[in-house]
Structure 1
Amino acid sequence: MDLPLKQRVAVVTGASSGLGLHFAKVLAAQGAAVALMARRVERMQDAVGEIRAAGGRAEAFALDVADVAAIGPALDQAQAALGPLSIMINNAGVGGEGLALEVSQAVFDDTFAVNVRGVLFGAREAARRMLDNGEAAAGHARILNIASIGAHSILPGLAIYCASKAAVAQMTRVLAREWARQDIAVNALCPGYIETELNAHWFASEGGQKQLKGWPRRRLMDAEDLDAALLMLTGPGARHITGSVITLDDGQTL
């Protein structure tokens, strides 16, 4: 079977759980060698073992994307272990919950440090390496930023989170424009609500169930619902796609 991502190396941040962990497994199944990165290395070891058992290549690396100085060295470690970086998935994120009249400055700072600063410098450090290692010149360079429907929809009690994801969406467009002539494709996904560690407690509550029943299809999405877009934007099909911010929400925002 011809695997579209064979001989590609992908980095996925926030890969210890949720969407990041799922993305890493999907990319590996399509042939990519995958560097899983997160603060909790031990939580990624089972996934690394699973990928290797299926015949793939994977390594786990410790990285807190809020520590900008650590991003470049982590990418260098990934390249040394797996080969030239082709694909960067900036997935690491935090919730930024709190009503505007009550939320602390610390929550604001922590949210933007991960959701915005971590994405910008993750993209920049990846782009530098893609330019240096020849993957951009070969037309293989892909950067995918994970935003949210909060980038363009009002989510009460999540003003800081929404602001951070709106920043990611606009940042994606600007980076795509800056790097267009270097053949680095930069795109973003805005997923709807998928049950993860960040929101499971909410959707188990009465308020969460009320919110769910207010959506046209009255259901949460599954992580697998993002797979087709993920593979399109990280694979050969993205050769002529850049600067796109794609919403996948099962109609939740209709």
Structure 2
Amino acid sequence: MIVTQPVGRYAASRKYDVLTALGAYALAQEKGMQRLVLRLLTLITARYNWKADELVVGRREMARLWCVDERTVKRETAKLRAMGWLEVKRPGVRGRITSYALRLDRVLEDTRMAWGNVGEDFEARMGMSTGEAPQQGSVVPFPGAAKPTPPDLTRGDVWSLALGLLYSEDAQSYGAWLRALSVHQTTGDRLLLMAPSRFHAHYVQTHLLDRVTRAVRSVEPELGRVALLYPGAEG
């Protein structure tokens, strides 16, 4: 899908089209997703810099805008990142707020199912604006290259949101190694994950643990450590 940023002569109408697509999608979803998309819509309308493709808003300001606490802000932004709708453009450090970019390609791909609810004219216009190829294309996808099914983010717990982030970063590693892990226990600042076998646990420990730990910390900074277990090693 080819998506250009909404700049130039028709920028204003394109912005409204994106917001309309988000609103129509939200109205077709269950209550939890409706609330999440409404929060994103409000954030985009109030603070998104379309020209710079940048959203720079502090966690405290987001909490005030959304009428929630900062812990909820962390969870909701992690969920939006896991969905692939937001991505970190510039990480926050001491004295500098995290900068996010809106992934228009992913937003439009995910909201496509609701375009027809707005009207045939809107659906046709959105299809043209994204450079959509005809449905009768001759390209046949190679079965082995198919992406695994993304994780369920509706639970909103730390591990499911961390899995969403890991999926958005590397779907193949997620499918081969990470989706088979489950939460065994959370103790203090440590998240203990259960792997299906000793070999599986060793591979993740050796090759993917740093990535997993970063994803978990991104969702819940208080969890600073991640460890692996396998059946028979619970003691």
Greater fraction of residues in helix: 2
Q: Which has the larger radius of gyration?
A: 2
Instruction: Decide: shared fold, TM above 0.5.
Output: no
Give the TM-score of the pair, scaled to structure 1: 0.29
